[in-house]
Amino acid sequence: MEEPLFRGTIFGGLQRTWQPFWAFLLSAFLYVTAHPGEPWLAFLFIASLGYAAALRLGHSLLAPMLAHSLTAAALLLGRLYPSFVLALPAVAFALVAGAAIVMITAGASQPSAREP
């Protein structure tokens, strides 16, 4: 999958040396440039920001991998059932948001290294 490369290696490396804002933007830009033939570049950019946020908040690659998988499943369903394509962005957003909430909640229940 793409998440170990784009979120684990690229975003992870960028956020160690750059401010988070720039790490988010640059990793999202690189993600979009790796998908030149895709019709929804703006959606890919926003999704990439969401996947990076899921990694940062969930403290695990599992969060963006789950979000990416759910989004891909929603897109596949949209291709298989084109009559529902108008609902596709809402479904994809709901799946990504739900996965992010689960990962944020799971990350919040784990003790932080910064806590005394």
Domain boundaries, the chain: 3-108
The chain-wide mean pLDDT, for the chain, equals 80
Beta-carbon count within 10 A of 18 CB: 14
CA distances from 108 to 51, 56, 61, 100 (A): 17, 12, 16, 12
Q: Choose among 35, 42, 45, 55: nearest CA to 104.
A: 55
Per the structure block, which two tokens stand in for 102?
């689960």
pLDDT digits (tens, 9 = 90+) for 23-78: 999 999 999 999 888 777 888 899 899 899 888 888 888 888 888 888 888 778 77
Question: Phi-psi region for residue 111, left (φ > 0), alpha (ψ -120 to 50) or beta?
Answer: beta
